[in-house]
Each structure stands twice: as structure tokens, then as C-alpha cells.
């Protein structure tokens, strides 16, 4: 069972501010929780109702208690209280590594999907502008399907970081509709790929810091969709960087 | 204003059965409605409240009426009643064209995103197994961002269609984790690319009909995500077919 204090704590973690203060986040869904308990993420408690039939050790709670704390409309019977990992120690060497930077990604589904894409392609770090949606939002955590445990997501002053890259001769690529065809551009195995906001693309301030604007050719002769979803563009571009 | 009969009709279109009987669907959101009115889709009526400040001619309704018929929690003030286009006339020549086939895609967001991807890459036809989510579901329509107007979505007996392809020597590709590396396989400019269900992949019955199983290499040395989201896989594979 859950005490009133526990219920209050878990519910409070729906807000980023409270997650950051407590250093905790909530994971929901069978697949995600089962991945997290075997990962490097520290899982403080797992709570599950009779609906959960899997093997993860857990504290039994009622469906009523679960519904009180779950942010899903269709809970899968399991919820975990986890510790947000520190990313300050993990600093990639951008002379060797390839990383993703997100300029104001707002949709939790897109953020989760991008973390899963990074994980698939062995990209260990994502740098997010501070306005981007929080990776420890429970909708994001669920959309990552467990990949949140293997990718370091940093929240930083993105313009400052990219300015440092430029000074340092680290290539900064950016997904821009006006960019050069990614299939004919020279691509390096290190550097930063910047992806912009869903509605507005890359912000003006950041665009100035992009040394290598790239785009995905459409093949629709100007008659097709105006753009691709941010996560879709990320996937196609990462696939191409990795293919080379 | 909306009559009770109109409210009843619009609300009934939340169910596939009623959409098919009436031959009508609902589009919501500024971007989607504005794209549809200039497209080949026949838009019967546009209703909008004072919240809508755009230029599309519309019948004025109150926010209260809009909330009665909208399926969105945050309506953008505009809703359109549109006619489902007939796809029976449009038959692609698979000796020349490249098309997508969906084996039981269930998530409206994925379906909408896949339609948008097809539109971006100039793929004019998507063939869906009858169990797949309906492309005229209003969540799908919104996720297509207007691409629903330019892509023909057919619902068919998918195993029968793929069996015909095999007889006919039309290449049938399928996204399978056990498939061959797409970057080293020979790819043709015509044929069918089959994408499976979000949780279960391609069904057993369909898998037997796949002449060319292909996969996206992960580069994570077996330590990364177990799979990619269905729409993400579609995007990367379509990009590679088009690049060749």
C-alpha cells in the first residue's frame, strides 16, 4: 500500500521543478520499468497492482492507489520511482564523438523517440536547450521504451555550447529546410547535429552557429509535405551519419 | 451555429463504421484544415469559433458548440467536415511504382506520421491490412499535417495482395530485425515495403510473403534499443530507397 506522503511525493513529480528538487522521476509501463530495473538507473521503489503479472519485485498496491498516482489513462499496473542520474561527470569528447543537440523540442513523444533513436545508433549524448521538454517527464520516459537508461541527456546553454564548438573547430550540423542535400555533403564521424523546434525549426540565434546546414531531399517535386516531423528528420540524418 | 442534427452527425464520425457509411471524416487544427481546403479533398463545411483568426471561409460557431464536437482537448477553433476520397480508381503500377504496405499499424500518431513520410518522399500509395487504424480517424488526419490529401490510403486483404506481387515478380521488402542490412542490399525503384505492427512486428502469415527482408543496422553493438518505432523505421528505409 501507499502512504499519503508517498502519494503526495509521486504526484508532485509530474512537475519538472519537483523532479529536479527531489532528484527523482516516475517511470510507467511494463516494458520501461522492466528495462530500468536492470539498467544503470537507480530504481528506488517499484509499485504494482494485481494487474501486473511480470517478474519484477514490487510493493503491492491496489488499482485504486495506482490510478491516484498514474499519469496514464490506461495504466499497465506498474510504476517505478527512480533517481535522475547525474550527467555532470559524463562529458563527451567532441573531437571523437557524434552527439545530438535539441533546440527547443517541446513534444514529449518526439523527445522520447529521439532518445530511442540515439540509443539505436549508439549516440551516447543529447544536449538540450533549457526550454526543451524535460527528458524525465513520464510521457518522455515511456516513449523512450527504456532507452532513457542508456543515453545521457544534458540541459545546457545551447548557444554557448555551440559557440565553443565553433571556436574549437568541431563541426556543427543543423537540420534546415534550406540546407544542402545530406546525401552529397561531406559528413564527419564527430560533431554536433542540431534539430529545431517542431513548429518553428532552429531559432535565429542558433542558426548563426550552424557551420553545416543540411537537409533531406524530398523527391516529391515541390508537391509533397512541407516538412518532416522533428523525430523523423533526426532518424534519417543519424542513419546517414552512421552509414558513412 | 450548429443544429442538433449536425452535432450528432459530426460526433458520430468519431467511429470508423459511421465514417465509412457516411463517406465523411472530420479534420481539426488550423494547419490541416487550411491545407485541405486548397487540396483535391472535397471539404463540405468548415466551422470555426472566434478563436480562429485565419482566412478560410467558415460558418461561425460558438466555442461551446466547438467543444461539443471536437475530439481534441485543446481545440484550435476550427473543424472541417470532409468527404473521404475514393481510392478505387487510383491503382499504382507496381512494375514502376514504389509503395508502402502496413501490416496492422494501430497507433494513430504512427499512421499519420507514415502518411506524412510517404508524401515527403513522393510515395503516392499506402496499402493497409484491414486491421490497421483508419487513416480518416481525426487523430491520424491531424498527424498527417495535410498529407492525407496527397497520399492514397487503401484498405485491402494484404496477404492476397502480397501473394499477387510474388506471382508477378514484384519485389516485396519487409522491415524485419532479422533482415539483411539495407545499406548493402540491392534495392529496386519499384515494389512494396511492408512495415509491421508496433508491438509484434510483421505477422507470421505476411512474413512468409516477404521476398526481401531488410533491417537498419544499429551501430550500438547489441547494447542499445531493441527496436525502432514503426514510423522511424519507415522513414529511414524510405529515405534509403529514394537515395539510391
pLDDT of A52-106, one tens digit each?
998 999 999 999 999 889 887 777 899 999 999 987 767 889 999 999 999 999 9
Structure confidence at residue B221 as a pLDDT band (50, 70, 90): confident
Identify whether the C-beta of residue A209 lies closer than 8 Å to the C-beta of residue A101: no
Please give the average per-residue pLDDT across A110-122, as a whole number.
95
Helix (H) or strand (E) holding B105: none
Residue B141 CA: distances (Å) to CA of A8, A63, B81, B151, B231 = 38, 34, 12, 12, 15
What percentage of chain B reaches a pLDDT higher than 90? 80
Helix (H) or strand (E) holding A152: strand A152-156
The rounded distance, in Å, linking the Cα atoms of B189 and B96 is 7
DSSP state of A16: H
Among the partner residues B120, B150, B216, nearest to A239 by beta-carbon distance: B216
pLDDT(B89) > 70:
no
Q: Is the dihedral of CA B136, B138, B144, B145 positive or negative?
A: positive
Q: Is B222 on the interface with A (CB under 8 A)?
A: no
Least confident residue range of A81-95, A135-149, A178-192: A81-95
Identify whether the C-beta of residue B162 lies closer than 8 Å to the C-beta of residue B209: yes
pLDDT(B76) > 90:
no
| Average pLDDT for chain B | 92
Domain parsing of chain B, residue ranges: 4-83, 98-243
Please give the average per-residue pLDDT across A215-227, as a whole number.
83
Please list every residue in chain B whose beta carbon sits closer than 8 Å to the beta carbon of residue A122. 218-221, 223-224
Cell numbers at A199, concatenated: 513548429
List A45's β-bridge partners, or say none: A81
φ, ψ at A173 (rounded to 5°) = -95, 150
**E-only strand ranges, A51-120:** 59-60, 78-83, 98-102
Question: Which of B34, B236, B237, B238 should one mutate to test binding to chain A, selecting the residue with the greatest count of A CBs within 10 A?
Answer: B236
Please give the average per-residue pLDDT across A191-211, as a whole number.
95
Q: State the pairing for strand pair B172-181/B78-83.
A: unpaired
Closest chain A residue by Cα to residue B221: A122
Cell numbers at B176, concatenated: 524485419
φ, ψ at A238 (rounded to 5°) = -60, -40
List B45's β-bridge partners, or say none: B81
pLDDT(B127) > 90:
yes
Identify whether the C-beta of residue A122 lies closer than 8 Å to the C-beta of residue B218: yes
φ, ψ at A16 (rounded to 5°) = -50, -45
CA A2: distance to chain centroid? 30
pLDDT at A183: 94
Instruction: Give per-residue pLDDT as tens, B166-188.
Output: 999 999 999 999 999 999 999 99
The rounded distance, in Å, linking the Cα atoms of B214 and B184 is 10
The rounded distance, in Å, linking the Cα atoms of A123 and A137 is 21
Please list every residue in chain B whose beta carbon sits closer than 8 Å to the beta carbon of residue A217. 242
Please list every residue in chain B whose beta carbon sits closer than 8 Å to the beta carbon of residue A147. 224-225
List A125's β-bridge partners, or say none: A152
Structure confidence at residue B193 as a pLDDT band (50, 70, 90): very high
Q: Is A78 on the interface with B (CB under 8 A)?
A: no
What's the number of CA atoms in the CB half-sphere (13 Å) around residue B216?
Answer: 30
Assigned fold of A4-83: 60s Ribosomal Protein L30; Chain: A; (3.30.1330)
pLDDT at B10: 94
Please list every residue in chain B whose beta carbon sits closer than 8 Å to the beta carbon of residue A121. 218-220, 224
List B173's β-bridge partners, or say none: B193, B212
CATH for A98-243 (3.10.450.50, 3.30.70.120, 3.40.1280.10, 3.20.20.140): 3.40.1280.10
- pTM of the complete model: 0.88
Q: Is B235 on the interface with A (CB under 8 A)?
A: yes
Identify whether the C-beta of residue A121 lies closer than 8 Å to the C-beta of residue B219: yes
The rounded distance, in Å, linking the Cα atoms of A148 and A115 is 7
Cell numbers at A198, concatenated: 517542431
Residue B220 CA: distances (Å) to CA of A96, A98, A117, B111, B149 = 16, 13, 11, 27, 38
The CA distance from A21 to the nearest CA of chain B, in Å, is 29
Amino acid at each position: 500500500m501507499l502512504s499519503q506522503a508517498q502519494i503526495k511525493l509521486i504526484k508532485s513529480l509530474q512537475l519538472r521543478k519537483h523532479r529536479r528538487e527531489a532528484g527523482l522521476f516516475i517511470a510507467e509501463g511494463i516494458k520501461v520499468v522492466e528495462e530500468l530495473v536492470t539498467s544503470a538507473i537507480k530504481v528506488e521503489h517499484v509499485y504494482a497492482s494485481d494487474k501486473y503479472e511480470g517478474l519484477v519485485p514490487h510493493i503491492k498496491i491496489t488499482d485504486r492507489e495506482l490510478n491516484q498516482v498514474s499519469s496514464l489513462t490506461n495504466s499497465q499496473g506498474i510504476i517505478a520511482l527512480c533517481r535522475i542520474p547525474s550527467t555532470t561527470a559524463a562529458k563527451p569528447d567532441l573531437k571523437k564523438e557524434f552527439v545530438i543537440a535539441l533546440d527547443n523540442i517541446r513534444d514529449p513523444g518526439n523527445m522520447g523517440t529521439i532518445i530511442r533513436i540515439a540509443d539505436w545508433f549508439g549516440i551516447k549524448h543529447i544536449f538540450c536547450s533549457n526550454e526543451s521538454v524535460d527528458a524525465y517527464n513520464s510521457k518522455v520516459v515511456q516513449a523512450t521504451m527504456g532507452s532513457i537508461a542508456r543515453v545521457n541527456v544534458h540541459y545546457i546553454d545551447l548557444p554557448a555550447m555551440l559557440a565553443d564548438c565553433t571556436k574549437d573547430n568541431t563541426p556543427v550540423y543543423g537540420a534546415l529546410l534550406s540546407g544542402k542535400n545530406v546525401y552529397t555533403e561531406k559528413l564527419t564521424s564527430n560533431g554536433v547535429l542540431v534539430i529545431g523546434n517542431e513548429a518553428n525549426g532552429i531559432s535565429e540565434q542558433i542558426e548563426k552557429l550552424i557551420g553545416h546546414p543540411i537537409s533531406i531531399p524530398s523527391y516529391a517535386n515541390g508537391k509533397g509535405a512541407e516538412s518532416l516531423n522533428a523525430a523523423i528528420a533526426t532518424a534519417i540524418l543519424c542513419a546517414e551519419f552512421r552509414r558513412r
